[in-house]
Chains A and B, each alone.
Chain A
Amino acid sequence: DQQVKQNSPSLSVQEGRISILNCDYTNSMFDYFLWYKKYPAEGPTFLISISSIKDKNEDGRFTVFLNKSAKHLSLHIVPSQPGDSAVYFCAASASLSGGGADGLTFGKGTHLIIQP
């Protein structure tokens, strides 16, 4: 039972255009969502996050949108650059009753390829 789904295994975008990566989740207990970027043989690198009380968060070229009713989030990268080529993981967590957050549940990832 996949609680976090990234339905596009790969996405090809031209340099300078917008990249939109999508993610769907099923667990209504998730209240914090994160995007990570990963290169082969390296650990995931944190990009941006959003809590369930917001619907948008921006950080430079990266914007994350959250639609709670649809249980959907997306990551927008504008403009896309060659260095953005990597695998992007969507992740979600739920708050623990005693404080803090549970471990992250990850999607399978989307391989973003930025073409010159």
Chain B
Amino acid sequence: KAGVTQTPRYLIKTRGQQVTLSCSPISGHRSVSWYQQTPGQGLQFLFEYFSETQRNKGNFPGRFSGRQFSNSRSEMNVSTLELGDSALYLCASSLTDEQFFGPGTRLTVL
């Protein structure tokens, strides 16, 4: 079975731009969660989608949004990028309790 894939793997943007990251879960997994990882804040939960509905949300500003499609693929969008948004963005899919993580997208905001 193919693992969780994330595209793109690396991204460089400038302040004020917006960005869309994509995550394809393991086949059959309906839950997709997104996390932001930075050296200062560690791994922080962004949101979780299940069957195209946002089921849970972390403490991030409204500039961070996401969606899930009928095939369980998910996208997250960050608008009006700030320098502090530079991070590794990880998505994870799950069928039950165990989460399987993708390799992440490293976003650099200049």
Are A and B bound to each other?
Answer: no
Chain B interface residues toward A at CB < 8 A: none
Chain A interface residues toward B at CB < 8 A: none
